[in-house]
Amino acid sequence: MGMLGSVVLILLGVLATSSDLKKHQPRLAFWVDNLIPFQGYLGIAAAFYGLFLTLKMVAYIGFILYAPFVYLASLAAGLDAMALGVLLGYRTAQKWVARRFSPAQLARGEELYQRLATLQLQLGYGGIWLGCFALLLNIFN
């Protein structure tokens, strides 16, 4: 995961935990509110990037022998980015492509969205921590 991916993962984590962050840190409300209009677009991009990163980490499974913690953290970051991307970009993607799917497929997508929504806070804080870890890896590498 590169610098840009790390920063995007941190931003997605902040967006996913926005209500909790605003409650505990009222000074962040201004900054979080300015990020909300970009939530859907960041989410869609992160879902694709998370899928790419997850597939890349699965392809480089041999790397686990050399740096297991870095490998597992990168795999977790890819999965978290994909989950947060689906969660935050679902409504925007639904506006773009909803007419191409059957009602059964839309219901299944809504079910997946509801499952992810129950884990929003945990995914968000995980995204913040994994993004910070990846950012530190990129800085000190």
User: Rounded to two decimals, what is the model's pTM?
Assistant: 0.86
**Which stretches of the chain score pLDDT less than 50?**
none
For position 10, what pLDDT does the model report?
92
For position 104, what pLDDT does the model report?
86
Q: 130 with 80: CB under 8 angstroms? A: yes
Amino acid letter at 3? M
**Number of Cα atoms under 13 Å in the Cβ half of residue 44:** 11
For position 35, what pLDDT does the model report?
84
For position 50, what pLDDT does the model report?
93
19: left (phi over 0), alpha (psi -120 to 50) or beta: alpha
For position 3, what pLDDT does the model report?
87
Distance in angstroms (rounded) separating the CA atoms of residues 83 and 96: 19
Total length of the chain: 141
For position 91, what pLDDT does the model report?
85
Residue of 97, 20, 99, 8 whose CA lies nearest to 47: 8
**Number of Cα atoms under 13 Å in the Cβ half of residue 119:** 12
For position 58, what pLDDT does the model report?
92
